[in-house]
Amino acid sequence: MSKRNKLVKFSENLSFQNVFENFSYKEVQLYQQVNQKVDFKGTWNQNYFKRDSPLVLELACGGGEYCIGMANLFPDRNYIGIDIKGARIWRGAKTAIQNNLSNVAFVRTKIELIPHFFENAEVDEIWITFPDPFLKNSKSIKRLTSDFFLDTYQNILKPNAILHLKTDDSTLYEFTLEVLNHRNDYKILEFYNDIYNLPEIPAILQLKTHYELKHLEDGRLIKYIKFQKSN
């Protein structure tokens, strides 16, 4: 994508009412529509979605295909896609607007910062879709299922909240199972190393992101782990 094209998308993000952006580590603050500071921490349902429904996050949402797919499948739930890349967030936000999906929004931020934007026990469910595997061991702390990130999710999740990881990457899949097995604050509910080989695949698992489609084209197997916050 050309630099100009990206800049057009960044500026359009500032006009979308379903996009919230944090621009800097120094000022941890969400902005909506140009210069409007907003704070929905603890009140996303009440003050943004204006209804009390389960609140579901998609982390590393990229172009938001999973969020959009889930928002269509489950209109009674509220979805927020989170990613740091503005041009990808633009794709999801634009699709939501074009499809009149009022139950999905997007937050552009580093995932490390989400406790600033969500209150303790505000979130019902988390999906982590095809996150970067950060294959070098020295970078494993950056994996979205490292102890650092699992600690980060603990506070914002409700008791017994469900989390899902979809990945094509064996290293990340094995790493996540190992991390979860060593913790007593999460329990593994299901894990499959090739979901499309299951006798029955739930509709929600059949949704496909941009990266999943590329991985399937390359003949890669899609892995899935479902786990739960313990109490």
Ligand X SMILES: C[S@@+](CC[C@H](N)C(=O)[O-])C[C@H]1O[C@@H](n2cnc3c(N)ncnc32)[C@H](O)[C@@H]1O
Residue among 78, 212, 222, 229 that touches ligand X (CB under 6 A): 212
Token couple for 214: 């590329």
**Toward ligand X, which CB reaches closer, 55 or 68?**
68
5 or 160, CB closer to ligand X? 5
CB atoms under 10 Å from CB of 68, counted, come to 24
Catalytic residue status for 124: no
Interacting residues of 14 by C-beta distance below 8 A, sequence separation 6+: 21, 33, 34
Helix (H, G, I), strand (E, B), or coil: what is residue 190?
strand
CB of 31 to ligand X, least distance (A): 17
Question: What's the start-to-end Cα distance of the chain, in Å?
Answer: 45
- In 3D space, the residue among 175, 187, 176, 126 whose CA is nearest the CA of residue 155 turns out to be 126
Computed on alpha carbons and rounded to an integer, the radius of gyration of the chain in Å comes to: 17
Q: For residues 38-97, which are near ligand X according to CB under 6 A?
A: 60-62, 83-85, 88
CA–CA separation, 25 vs 221, rounded Å? 36
x/- letters, 143..172, toward ligand X (CB under 6 A): ------------------------------
Q: Is 229 exposed, middle or buried (0-12, 13-18, 19+ CB in 10 A)?
A: buried
| Options 52, 83, 132, 218, the catalytic residue | 132
Least Cβ distance, residue 159 to ligand X (angstroms): 25
Residues 101-140 touching ligand X, rule: CB under 6 A, are 110-112, 129-132
What is the per-residue binding string for ligand X in 170-209, x denoting contact by CB under 6 A? Answer: ---------------------------------------x
Find the shortest distance in angstroms from Cβ 217 to ligand X: 13
Which residues are near ligand X by CB under 6 A?
60-62, 83-85, 88, 110-112, 129-132, 209-212
Active site (catalytic) residues: 132
